[in-house]
Structure 1
Amino acid sequence: MEGIVYVAHGSQKMGKNQKMQAFYQELIQTHPETEQGLAYLEKHPDTIAVIVAKMYQKGIREFIIVPLLLFSAMHMEEDIPQALKEVELCYSDVTFSVSQPFAQEPEVVTILEERCREKLKDFPTNPAILLVAHGSTNYEKPGKIVEKIAKELAINLELPVTAGVLYGKPDYLLEAKQLIQQHPQILVIPFFLFDGHLLDKIQLALTEIKPNTVIFSYTETLNLDRRLINGINHLMNEARVDG
C-alpha cells in the first residue's frame, strides 16, 4: 500500500503556509485513490516523521517522498535524507522513493516565459533581463541550472537573459552591476515559488546599487501556479519507476 508525502519548506508566516496548503489541496486531487500528506522541513509541527507516522498507522509501508522544491541543495541533499534515516530507525519495514526537484520541468520555463512576456508589454524598448533564484553557497548545481534555464528563456524570448543567484554563483548583484553600466531598464524575473522575504531582500539590494537613471521592474514569481502540478507528477512517476 503506497502513500505520498509532499515536503514543503515551511515558513514562520502563516500566509505562506496557507498558500502551500491550498496548492497541496490541488495536488491531492490528481491522486484521489492514494493516501497523501503534507510535511514541512522547517517552522511547522507537521514534520516528515509526523506525517509518516500517521500514514504508517493506516497501513502504509511504501512511501513516495515528493519535495516541493525547485532546486537540489541542502534541503534535498541533507535534510530530507537525514529525516528519512531517522524514520527508518523507528520503522524497519518501510521503503522510500524520492522524486527530484522540479525547476527544470517544461512547465516552469513556460510560466517564467509568460511572466516575462506579460511584463515586456510595459516597455517601449526591450530592457535587460535578469533571472534571479535562491542558489546555494555549498552546492554549485542550483546556479548551473539557473544559467541553463536563462539560456532557454533567451532562445524562447529572442532576447538576452542573464542568470544570477542570491547565494553562491553567479552572484546576482555582480551581474546586476554589470547590466546597470549598459542598460537604463532592467527586468528582473524572481525565480521563486512565491513572494516573500527573499524577494524583498533582492529588491532592497538592487535599489541600493542602482543609479537614479536606472529603473528595475519585476515580473510575478511562479506563485505556485497550478501548471506546476504536471511537472511534479511527472517526477513522481519517475521516482516510482526508479524505486
Structure 2
Amino acid sequence: MQAVLYISHGSRVKESVAEADAFLRCCMKGIASPIQQICYLELVQPDIHKGIDTCVRLGATQVIVQPLLLLSAGHAKRDIPREIRRAQARYPQITFKMGLPFGVDERIVDVLVKRLTESNVLIGPKDVVLLVGRGSSDPEIAESFALICRMMKLRGFQNIAVCYLAATKPTLQDALMQFHARLPKGRLFLLPYLLFPGLLKRIIDKAINDIGGGSNLVLCQSLGFHPILCQLLRNKVQGMIEDDSFF
C-alpha cells in the first residue's frame, strides 16, 4: 500500500503551523493515495521518525516522502535523506522515495508578482524590489536566487536585490540600511521568498522597525497559501505516484 508523508518545516508560531497544515490538507484532496500524513522537520511533533512509523503502522509498503520546501539546501540534501536512511534500516521491507522541493519555477515567480501587485502601489523605475530569503550556506541557494532575479527582470522589474535572514550575506539588516538610506525619491518593496514564515516574520518586522520604517518601505506578503503552489505540489506527488519506475 502506498503512503505520502509530507514534511512541513515546523514553527514556534502556532498560526504558522496551522496555515501550513491547512495548505497541505488542501493539497491532499487531489492526491490518489490511501495514506497521507504530515510530520515536521523541527519544533513540532510528530517528527519524521514518528511520521514514517505511522505510515508503516497504517499498512504502507511504499512511502513517498515529500518536503514542503521552496529550494534545495541542508534540509533537502542532508537532514531528510538521513532520516530516510534510518527508516530504511528499521523497515528494510519498505520502499522509500523522496520528492524534491519546489525549486525555481516560473509559476512561483508569477506568485511573487501577484504578491507585489497586492500592495496596490504601482512600482516605478526608481523603486527597488528586495527579495528576502531564509538563507543557507549552500551555494545553490545563491544560484537559485540569481535565476529568480533574472525571471523577475524579464517581467519588467529591473531593480531587484536579494538578502537573507540567516546563514549568509547580505543580511536583511545590511540591505535595509543600504537601500532605505538611498531611496529618498523611490520606495523599497520587501518581498519575502518564504512559504509560512512564522518567527521569521517577526525578524522582518523588527528589522523594519529598527530603521524607522517609513512611507517609502512596503512589506509584501510571503508566498503562503496560494492555489498555484498547491497545484505544483499536487503535480509533484501525483507524478511520483503514477510513475511505476519510481519505486
Q: Work out whether the TM-score is over 0.5.
A: yes
Paired residues in the alignment total: 241
Query: For the Cα contact (< 8 Å) 2:5–2:55, is it kept in 1?
Result: no
What displacement does 1:130 show?
0.6
Look up the SS of the partner of 2:130 in the other structure.
Answer: strand
Distance 1:178 1:14 in 2: 33
Alignment match, 1:53 = 53
Q: Structure 1, residues 86-128: CA drift from partner, whole Å, max 9, x if none?
A: 2112111112211111141333111101111232625677521
Alignment match, 1:220 = 221
Distance 2:124 2:100 in 1: 40
Instruction: Note closer, same or farther for the CA distance 1:127–1:55 as it changes in structure 2 (3 Å cut).
Output: same
Q: Does 1:234 pair with 2:235?
A: yes
Instruction: Note closer, same or farther for the CA distance 1:140–1:8 as it changes in structure 2 (3 Å cut).
Output: same
Identity %: 22
Query: For the Cα contact (< 8 Å) 2:163–2:171, is it kept in 1?
Result: yes
Alignment match, 1:194 = 196
Any stretches of 5+ residues in structure 2 without a counterpart? none
Distance 2:142 2:171 in 1: 9
Look up the SS of the partner of 2:155 in the other structure.
Answer: helix
Distance 1:202 1:15 in 2: 17
Instruction: Note closer, same or farther for the CA distance 1:205–1:221 as it changes in structure 2 (3 Å cut).
Output: same
Q: Which range moves more in the overlay, 65-74 or 176-185?
A: 176-185
Q: Does 1:204 pair with 2:203?
A: no
Distance 2:95 2:115 in 1: 39
What displacement does 1:182 show?
3.3
> Counterpart amino acid of 2:152?
L
Query: For the Cα contact (< 8 Å) 1:143–1:164, is it kept in 2?
Result: no
Alignment match, 1:81 = 81
What displacement does 1:64 show?
0.9
If the length of structure 2 is used for normalisation, what is the TM-score?
0.86
Alignment match, 2:100 = 100
If the length of structure 1 is used for normalisation, what is the TM-score?
0.87
Q: Does 1:157 pair with 2:160?
A: no
Q: Does 1:42 pair with 2:66?
A: no
Query: For the Cα contact (< 8 Å) 1:64–1:98, is it kept in 2?
Result: yes
Any stretches of 5+ residues in structure 1 without a counterpart? none
Alignment match, 2:112 = 112
Q: Structure 1, residues 2-51: CA drift from partner, whole Å, max 9, x if none?
A: 21110001122222221122112101101144321111111222122222
Query: For the Cα contact (< 8 Å) 2:4–2:33, is it kept in 1?
Result: no
Asked which structure has the greater RCO (Cα within 8 Å, sep 6+), the reply is 2
Distance 1:17 1:213 in 2: 31
Query: For the Cα contact (< 8 Å) 1:2–1:35, is it kept in 2?
Result: yes
Alignment match, 1:63 = 63
Query: For the Cα contact (< 8 Å) 2:8–2:38, is it kept in 1?
Result: yes
Look up the SS of the partner of 2:119 in the other structure.
Answer: helix
Q: CA RMSD in A?
A: 2.4
Query: For the Cα contact (< 8 Å) 2:2–2:61, is it kept in 1?
Result: yes
Alignment match, 1:3 = 3
> Counterpart amino acid of 2:116?
C
Distance 2:39 2:103 in 1: 20
Alignment match, 1:147 = 146
Q: Which range moves more in the overlay, 29-38 or 2-11?
A: 29-38
